[in-house]
Amino acid sequence: MSESPPEEPPEPRGSLHPTSARALTVCAVVGLVGGWAIHPVLSSVTGRPPLVSWTQALAVVLVAVIMGFLAWQTWQTVQVRGERLELHQAMNRLVLARACALGGTLIAAGYVGYAVSWLGDASQYADRWMLRSAVAALGGAGVALASLALERACRTDGGRPRP
């Protein structure tokens, strides 16, 4: 009786799916509600609304620019030149892209909610906070969009040969 060597199980092949619209929607809803609620809640607790500075707004815009550059660079490397990223680089970029897509959506919606909470307010700060919140919201949307582009740039053909 001859025993044949046990067959090795096939190497596991996983697949990752793009960030879901459901996750982005949940972040948007949570951000809108949280951003809208923070104004009246903190005003009643501390006696003044939270400050929105240009530094906050422009920092979010800077992150959007950085994520956009990284998405473009990754697209050029993987999709245009057909080069492979090191496994750890690809995973790091994918994790960063997903986290920033969700975080950017949350931030954008949060600042929109905060700006909406100032509508109809006669305070001397209303216009100032609404403008700064709008800039930060646009920056957050830029972070989310650039992150989704980075996630797409990380896609490969799964090792299948090209025709």
Is the per-residue pLDDT at 13 higher than 80?
Answer: no
Q: pLDDT: is 10 or 112 the higher one?
A: 112
Is the per-residue pLDDT at 162 higher than 60?
Answer: no
pLDDT tier at 14, thresholds 50, 70, 90: low
pLDDT in tens, 40-65: 999 899 988 888 999 999 999 999 99
* Model pLDDT, residue 74: 95
* Model pLDDT, residue 138: 98
Is the per-residue pLDDT at 133 higher than 70?
Answer: yes
Torsion of CA 45, 51, 52, 53, to 10 degrees: -160
The residue-averaged pLDDT of 126-150 equals: 96
What are the structure tokens assigned to 124, written together? 């001397």
Domains in the chain: boundaries? 21-44+53-153
Give how far the C-alpha of residue 3 lies from the chain's centroid of Cα atoms, to the nearest Å: 55
pTM, rounded to two decimals: 0.84
* Model pLDDT, residue 56: 94
Which residue type is seen at 147?
S
* Model pLDDT, residue 125: 81
pLDDT in tens, 81-127: 988 889 889 999 999 999 999 999 999 999 999 999 999 888 888 89
* Model pLDDT, residue 53: 93
Q: Which of 104, 105, 123 is nearest to 48 (CA)?
A: 123
Mean pLDDT (the chain, rounded): 89
State how far the Cα of 34 lies from the Cα of 1, in Å rounded to an integer: 71
* Model pLDDT, residue 18: 86
What are the structure tokens assigned to 125, written together? 């700060």
Letter string b/e over residues 72-110, b meaning 16 or more CB atoms within 10 A of that residue's CB: eebbeebeeeeeebeeeebeebbebbbebbbbbbbbbbb
Proportion of the chain above pLDDT 90, given as a percent: 65
State how far the Cα of 146 lies from the Cα of 159, in Å rounded to an integer: 25
